[in-house]
């Protein structure tokens, strides 16, 4: 009987929810320290791609704000869809090197400019004594090391994970500077776009994933990758040892003892001919019963993700990876797209501008939404969008807390009532 992913999903979920929680916490800390509802209303809004059509003013009526924010969200979603289709065309015509260089430039730009502006605001707000030369050298070294750790091999996975979280923090903090109505409508619109782009036939993300699957290639994208592990109870189920094959990519295959002996004989013959074999078979034994520890894969994928998170279930047999977007649960663990970090943190960051009670409610809603997405993943075993459930629950809990729970709690507390 095929094992359920719920048997060994706990460690992987914690490995993903921990960086998401850290990213949201740091965004809330930055927003709560540097910005507030009063300062955000007094400062003029930024002219960005998210508010090209309508510039929100505090003096506008509710109808004007709603219509303008809906128009801004529609234009931004169309812009994102056009850019995604352009990426599909570039990838279809094998402009992979161009896409990788573009991703390197984008990461450097975000770390140097957006991260630098946030760093300058922190320095000014807390009056940190630092000279301009030291600040420039720090930002330059920080950005260069970040690009190298994200797109080059040989760096510790912890460093790569830290820079992935940093990118999410910087972009999410920048998005919180948008006007309030535009921010909420934009979050809802992006969640709906994610739903259509992943599940609808001909959706841009679905086309991109299918194209990468047909070529058996990695996408030049930004993806948070947890430390890959192998379940501890593999040996208890009587599973055969795992064979690690290297032939352009990595696969985990179950082999029998006879196949293991045959591969060992082939290795000896190939070693006698100088080792010029097409692939190398490496037997990986399970020492879980002997030492009580789980074995780990040391390979680190270079596939990374830029936008719209997906959830993909991968088996432990002979199947290769089918999708490289968003959240993936495979023999290498769960991968979470950078878009999840950004928009989850934007939601709680915007809630932090109102009250900490809304922050707690939105955080719990987002974590519950992510857990529901993983449960649906185990049931349907197909690619699913990860934004809609979490964003829907987060927005719903925000307005319920702001309109119902906060007046009730504040009223009972000021009147010294127990409930």
Q: Give per-residue pLDDT as tens, 320-340.
A: 333 334 455 544 456 677 888
Look-up of token digits 């992510």: 370
Residue 200 phi/psi, 5-degree rounding, is -75, 140
Look-up of token digits 């045959």: 262
Euclidean distance between CA atoms 128 and 75, whole angstroms? 40
The tokens for 33 are 């320290």
At 8, the pLDDT band (50, 70, 90 cuts) reads: low
CA 370, distance to chain mean position in Å, is 11
At 400, the pLDDT band (50, 70, 90 cuts) reads: very high
CA angle 233, 382, 88 (to 5 degrees): 125
Residues annotated catalytic, as ranges: 194, 340
Helix (H) or strand (E) holding 25: helix 9-34
Among the listed residues 292, 293, 137, 312, the one whose alpha carbon sits nearest the alpha carbon of residue 223: 312
Structural contact between residues 244 and 228, judged by C-beta atoms closer than 8 angstroms? no
At 223, the pLDDT band (50, 70, 90 cuts) reads: confident
The tokens for 270 are 């190939």
Q: What is the pLDDT of residue 118?
A: 93
- pTM of the predicted model, to two decimals? 0.73
Structural contact between residues 167 and 222, judged by C-beta atoms closer than 8 angstroms? yes
């Amino acid at each position: 009987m095929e094992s359920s992913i719920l048997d060994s999903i706990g460690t992987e979920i914690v490995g993903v929810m921990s960086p998401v929680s850290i990213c949201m916490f740091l965004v809330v800390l930055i927003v709560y320290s540097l910005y507030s509802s009063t300062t955000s209303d007094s400062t003029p809004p930024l002219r960005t791609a998210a508010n090209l059509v309508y510039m929100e003013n505090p003096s506008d009526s509710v109808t004007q704000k709603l219509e303008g924010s809906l128009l801004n969200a529609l234009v931004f979603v169309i812009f994102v869809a056009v850019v995604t289709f352009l990426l599909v065309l570039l990838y279809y015509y094998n402009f992979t090197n161009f896409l990788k260089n573009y991703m390197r430039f984008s990461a450097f730009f975000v770390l140097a400019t957006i991260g630098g502006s946030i760093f300058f605001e922190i320095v000014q707000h807390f009056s940190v004594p630092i000279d301009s030369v030291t600040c420039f050298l720090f930002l330059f070294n920080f950005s260069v090391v970040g690009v190298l750790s994200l797109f080059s091999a040989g760096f510790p996975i912890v460093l790569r994970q830290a820079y992935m979280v940093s990118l999410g923090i910087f972009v999410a903090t920048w998005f919180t500077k948008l006007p309030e109505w535009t921010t909420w409508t934009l979050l809802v619109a992006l969640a709906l776009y994610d739903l259509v782009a992943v599940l609808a036939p001909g959706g841009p993300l679905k086309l991109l994933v299918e194209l990468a699957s047909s070529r058996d290639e990695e996408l030049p994208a930004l993806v948070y990758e947890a430390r890959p592990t192998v379940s501890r109870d593999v040996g208890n189920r009587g599973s055969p040892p795992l064979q690690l094959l290297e032939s352009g990519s990595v696969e985990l295959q179950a082999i029998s003892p006879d196949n293991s002996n045959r591969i060992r004989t082939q290795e000896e013959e190939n070693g006698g001919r100088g080792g010029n074999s097409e692939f190398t078979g490496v037997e990986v034994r399970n020492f879980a019963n002997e030492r009580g520890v789980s074995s780990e894969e040391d390979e680190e994928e270079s596939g990374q993700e830029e936008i719209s998170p997906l959830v993909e279930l991968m088996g432990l047999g002979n199947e290769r990876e089918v999708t490289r977007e968003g959240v993936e649960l495979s023999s290498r663990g769960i991968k979470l797209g950078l878009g999840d970090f950004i928009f989850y943190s934007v939601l709680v960051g915007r809630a932090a501008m109102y009250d900490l009670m809304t922050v707690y409610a939105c955080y719990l809603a987002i974590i519950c939404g992510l857990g529901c997405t993983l449960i649906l993943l185990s049931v349907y075993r197909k690619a699913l969008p990860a934004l809609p459930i979490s964003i829907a629950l987060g927005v719903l809990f925000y307005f319920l807390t702001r309109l119902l729970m906060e007046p009730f709690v504040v009223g009972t507390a000021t009147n010294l009532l127990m409930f």
